[in-house]
Amino acid sequence: MLALVLAACNKDEKHTPDRPEPIIEDTVKQYSYWTVNEDSFSTNQVVANTYRSPGNALAVLRATDSVNNFEIYFTHLSRFPQSGDFPLQDSSIHYPVSGVGVYFLYHSTSYFIAYPTDHHLSAASVNGKGQYTLPPTWFYSYYHPEDSVLISGTFNEP
């Protein structure tokens, strides 16, 4: 009997449906989802960077795909916000003087927000990271302003 007890104590723990394998949060990236017209995209290949210099700060969240991606930048913020509504600024100048800019690459064409706009980017916290929601908003091609796309999405800090 003692041999059975000792054998049971040395047995490797098995992960079963009622005892799943633990998830290490640092290795799980949240996905970002967005729709351009009727095309839907999702990725967890997102990078988040912050930059600081005297009198200025910038937080940038961007997808790394070279054909279809997004970039969201918060000027004068040294970290990603986790609450609030942020008015969208002219993103054609790539990093506005203040506020939030949003830029998309769709089938290798750059699209920017039309300015002025009354649209906002909403920030929330999910698992201690920033989540940003963009309501349906019209974006325009920089080189062909008659080319427009309707974009909405939810973007997550990795």
* Block mean pLDDT (10 aa), the chain, length 158: 44 47 54 97 95 85 95 89 90 66 93 82 95 96 91 97
| pLDDT computed for residue 17 by the predictor | 47
| pLDDT computed for residue 6 by the predictor | 40
| pLDDT computed for residue 148 by the predictor | 94
Asked if residue 92 is part of any domain, the answer here is: yes
| pLDDT computed for residue 3 by the predictor | 46
135/116 Cα distance (integer angstroms):
16
Q: How many domains does the chain have?
A: 1
Q: Give yes or no for a contact between 54 and 63, defined as CB atoms under 8 angstroms apart.
A: no
DSSP code string of 99-149:
SEEEEEEETTEEEEE-SS---EEEEEEETTEEEEEEEEEEEEESS-TT-EE
Asked if residue 21 is part of any domain, the answer here is: no
Asked if residue 18 is part of any domain, the answer here is: no
Q: Give yes or no for a contact between 112 and 92, defined as CB atoms under 8 angstroms apart.
A: yes
| pLDDT computed for residue 60 by the predictor | 92
Helix (H) or strand (E) holding 6: helix 2-9
What residue numbers bound the domain in which 141 lies? 27-156
Helix (H) or strand (E) holding 39: strand 39-43
Nearest 5°: the CA angle 49, 118, 69 is 35
Asked if residue 94 is part of any domain, the answer here is: yes
Q: What is the pTM of this model?
A: 0.78
